[in-house]
């Protein structure tokens, strides 16, 4: 019988945890954990899962799609309207890399610390996303 584990958090390394938490809070609406500080910040959802951000000295941002500094990980988010999400993300501080392998199914963005993440539209929910 496999060990039953429940995912509770995803933690991203970065240079400025509060700045990155503020970005993800703007785009997800998750609540900022009250004990967040300059070294470790977290956002929580009602179901208990959190996205956390920890300060790393000499942090090196990923360079996607090239691999000089690997992507390290990426997050996927579902949205109902891909064009609307893209506009909001860019306005909130995300960047849109030139290479977009998802066509009309998903978009790749990078957060202010350089981590790639994908936004998947409703028509693509049966297709895994990812900046391969």
Q: Give 47-114 as a DSSP string.
A: TS-EEEEEE-TT-----SSS-SS-----EEEE-S-HHHHHHHHHHHT-B--S--TTTTTEEEEE-TTS
User: What does pTM read for this prediction?
Assistant: 0.79
Residue 43 main-chain phi, psi, to 5 deg: -120, 140
Select from 55, 57, 58, 75 the least CA-distant residue to 116.
75
Reading the block at residue 36, the tokens are 């967040």
Please say whether the beta carbons of 61 and 113 come within 8 A.
Answer: yes
CB 101, CB 108: distance < 8 Å = yes
Q: How far is it, in rounded angstroms, from Cα 5 to Cα 3?
A: 6
Over residues 87-92, mean pLDDT: 95
Banded model confidence at residue 48, pLDDT cuts 50, 70, 90: confident
Query: pLDDT tens digits, residue range 73-82?
Result: 778 899 999 9
Mean of the pLDDT values across residues 59-70? 86
Confidence of residue 132 (pLDDT cuts 50, 70, 90): very low
Please state which of the ranges 20-34, 59-73, 91-105 shows the lowest mean pLDDT: 59-73
The stretch 88-116 carries a mean pLDDT of 93
Worst-scoring range by mean pLDDT, 68-82, 83-97, 108-122? 68-82
């Amino acid at each position: 019988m496999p060990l039953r584990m429940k995912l509770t958090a995803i933690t991203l390394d970065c240079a400025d945890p509060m700045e990155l938490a503020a970005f993800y809070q703007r785009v997800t609406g998750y609540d900022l954990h009250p004990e967040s500080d300059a070294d470790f910040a977290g956002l929580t959802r009602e179901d208990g899962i959190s996205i956390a951000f920890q300060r790393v000295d000499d942090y090196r941002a990923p360079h996607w799609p090239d691999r000089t500094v690997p992507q390290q990980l990426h997050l996927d988010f579902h949205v109902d309207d891909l064009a609307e999400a893209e506009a909001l993300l860019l306005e909130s501080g995300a960047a849109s890399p030139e290479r977009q392998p998802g066509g009309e199914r998903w978009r790749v963005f990078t957060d202010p610390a350089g981590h790639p993440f994908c936004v998947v539209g409703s028509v693509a929910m049966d297709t895994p996303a990812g900046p391969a």
